[in-house]
Structure 1
């Protein structure tokens, strides 16, 4: 894949210095001059490997080994004097006393279903299957001129919003060769780090909002992010503690600053009608609204689509609905529900019930059911098509 003009612009802009660095030095870390340097990104460790994949051009060429902490460049930033200049403590995403309760991950498909599918492949048309996969891969690998932001939200919690965001991030990481970011923008105690398999988290949106400057390079930024096992990066909204929620100014600062470093950013928003969710939906290049396969879920989602139609720009044209099943025995007439939502002009993708996803915990791509993988790939391709066409 070619790097594109936007990546050359990133490399040029990264050399600019922040002329507004005039915050006083922190009392506990005195520094000469009017500006103060934030703590360097944490060093890599066995429990929380932290370190960059290299700059944009190096990331396109393939993974680069994490450098030692001593090689992390110093970052000059404008710091909020109300915040202490200290490195946050690294905290586990799951309480160690509870981790053993997760149990062994299950495969999304039963043994009987996997066996039957293997027999079907012997008689199926391989050419047609390859053609469909190639079409989806081309849609997912489209070059972008600027970083694209895809926001994921829902009308209420517990419908699979974070699961869909994690599936999208993993799908983009699998198909694309440029940097991909999963950004958690849930004001509540979100679970995106758990779903993406992060063992621990340290830096969050709130701290990074006061550290980002135009002079930072991609290697500086990724030092504050959590590397995802299957590729890509993660920025959590919090450390899993109850405290000040993520607010709109913080989200805007972080999302606008980070999208210049990443080709695709998947945002796991709070539920509507939250302020951050409305802002994310209004400013994203594409939107995914997650709805449960129930009459109430479809009806409420239709109201959201009607609201999107009233936004100043053409929001519906860049919106996709993901219908999720939280039980293997859903009774909703999927055809009728899909037709009701498509009256607004949006595309609807159904995500079937999957035993692996229903179990909770980290998502292992290899354990997803085949129908789930296909639906997630189709959903990501639909979202990417709209994000690329958006202005």
Structure 2
């Protein structure tokens, strides 16, 4: 039968004295060093070794497993042995005695250890073996307090094998812990179960159809090249709107044609908005090359710029072709005496920058007219058009020299020159020599072949162009986008 606890908790809460010793075997009572009363007890013979001390929960406090000091075995000359004992967590600096329930739990564990080992032979060994169950009856001396504090720290020190929980900041993960961005399609999708698109190419598509869509040989070489070119044109552009003027010092070399083809190639492959502005102060023909007019011009946009609050407002002024290219026509009224000026272009550029990613500008003939200063001021990249004749090639090269002499040398090095073939048959000049000359001064050179659909002077349909002409326009668009992306990285 378990011993009865003293009902007078207020009187004996500090010494932990048992009300009776019935059911326990008293092995020794004595006064040791500083009038400290000690008692050693053993558990009954029917003690269940598998008891997990569930009945010894101490008032909802945390219970920590500690190891009993090993000195008791060393005194007897035996191999060290440790016994795990649950002890209520207490403060190391607290001077208040442990609760009665804690003394009872410690005494029970000490008795279990004493049952399997003989009593110590000396007073020092007796003190080591019964230190867990001892209670202070009187105030200890300074020496005893020091020893008791060291012994207390030894008993409540946590085991080295315990896992210490630490608070972690957001983003402070373990080395072997992965983040969600590593769950990519390339990693998770099984290539054997990914549905490949239908192959492009005559005989490849025929094999795919006859095999019941089980044999997919992939796209043809031409189809792969076209898709790669699409990716180059559709590459994203960071930042605000980009301005690309198309320049020429001589009329009739195909400046408006190049602007139209470049705009169509960009609008056909990209998802953002592209606009081509006719900034020719002497009446340009850009809107006529598109074939769809809105009846509004740049003059109307200048007048209504304060009333443009959304894209619907500007879409009523511009014209759009089947490739989704928007075109802002120049003023074609012969009765207008005031020409399109730098201030007008700045107003148009300010509005266009809010709604478009790329703004192409079809400039007038020459580079000293009224709009050229504002055009070059906004330019992010230049496109120079040269014809395949000696005088046209010289004028294009002189244009580069003028730009370099007037503070645009950096723009010249990143510019693109288009060699436009406007006449059928073989050219009278060596195109390879012109190509080599301009490549020594600019970043890239693109050759635009002769196309009867363009030479007719009617509206241009991008789908009706010859494949070579369409590929050249798309290559020009890809080179322009790569230049714009490079300039944004450098900035």
TM-score tier by shorter-chain length is 0.5 to 0.7
In the other structure, the counterpart of 1:206 is 299
In the other structure, the counterpart of 1:253 is 347
Match of 2:360 among 243, 266, 274: 266
In the other structure, the counterpart of 2:226 is 133
* Structure 1 stretch displaced more, 133-142 or 368-377: 133-142
Per the TM alignment, residue 153 of structure 1 is displaced from its structure 2 partner at its CA by 1.8
* Structure 1 stretch displaced more, 368-377 or 257-266: 257-266
Per the TM alignment, residue 278 of structure 1 is displaced from its structure 2 partner at its CA by 4.2
In the other structure, the counterpart of 1:172 is 266
Structure-2 separation of matches of 1:337 and 1:235: 33
Q: Is the partner of 1:260 in helix, strand or coil?
A: helix
Q: Is the partner of 2:435 in helix, strand or coil?
A: helix
Per the TM alignment, residue 183 of structure 1 is displaced from its structure 2 partner at its CA by 0.9
Q: Give unmatched runs, 5+ long, in structure 2.
A: 1-201, 203-217
Structure-1 separation of matches of 2:475 and 2:254: 17
- RMSD of Structure 2 on Structure 1 (CA): 2.4
In the other structure, the counterpart of 1:148 is 242
Per the TM alignment, residue 240 of structure 1 is displaced from its structure 2 partner at its CA by 4.8
In the other structure, the counterpart of 1:9 is none
Match of 1:342 among 439, 446, 451: 439
Q: Is the partner of 2:303 in helix, strand or coil?
A: coil
Q: 1:292 to 1:205 in 2, by over 3 A?
A: same
Structure with max Cα Rg: 2
Q: 1:136 to 1:281 in 2, by over 3 A?
A: farther
Q: Is the partner of 2:386 in helix, strand or coil?
A: strand
Q: 1:257 to 1:388 in 2, by over 3 A?
A: farther
Per the TM alignment, residue 127 of structure 1 is displaced from its structure 2 partner at its CA by 4.3
Structure-2 separation of matches of 1:239 and 1:202: 10
| 8 A contact 2:276–2:328 mirrored in 1 | yes
Q: Relative contact order: is structure 1 or structure 2 higher (C-alpha 8 Å, sep ≥ 6)? A: 1
Per the TM alignment, residue 242 of structure 1 is displaced from its structure 2 partner at its CA by 5.0
Q: 1:334 to 1:239 in 2, by over 3 A?
A: same
Counterpart mapping for 1:53-92 below 5 A: none
Counterpart mapping for 1:326-341 below 5 A: 326-329=422-425, 330-341=427-438
Per the TM alignment, residue 373 of structure 1 is displaced from its structure 2 partner at its CA by 0.6
In the other structure, the counterpart of 1:186 is 280
Task: Report Cα offsets for 1:214-269 as digits up to 9, x if no partner.
Answer: 97112222122223233132211113535232111101111122122101111111
Structure-2 separation of matches of 1:212 and 1:148: 20
Q: May I ask how many residue pairs the two structures share in their alignment?
A: 269
In the other structure, the counterpart of 2:465 is 368
Structure-1 separation of matches of 2:436 and 2:256: 25
Q: Is the partner of 2:250 in helix, strand or coil?
A: coil
Structure-2 separation of matches of 1:300 and 1:229: 34
Q: Give unmatched runs, 5+ long, in structure 1.
A: 1-117, 119-124
| 8 A contact 1:318–1:387 mirrored in 2 | no
Structure 1 outlier segments of 4+, above 4 Å: none
Per the TM alignment, residue 308 of structure 1 is displaced from its structure 2 partner at its CA by 2.4
| 8 A contact 2:416–2:442 mirrored in 1 | no
In the other structure, the counterpart of 1:237 is 330
Q: Is the partner of 1:328 in helix, strand or coil?
A: coil
- Compute the TM-score of the two structures, normalised by the length of structure 1: 0.64
- Compute the TM-score of the two structures, normalised by the length of structure 2: 0.51
In the other structure, the counterpart of 2:52 is none
Match of 1:288 among 383, 386, 403: 383
| 8 A contact 1:272–1:278 mirrored in 2 | no
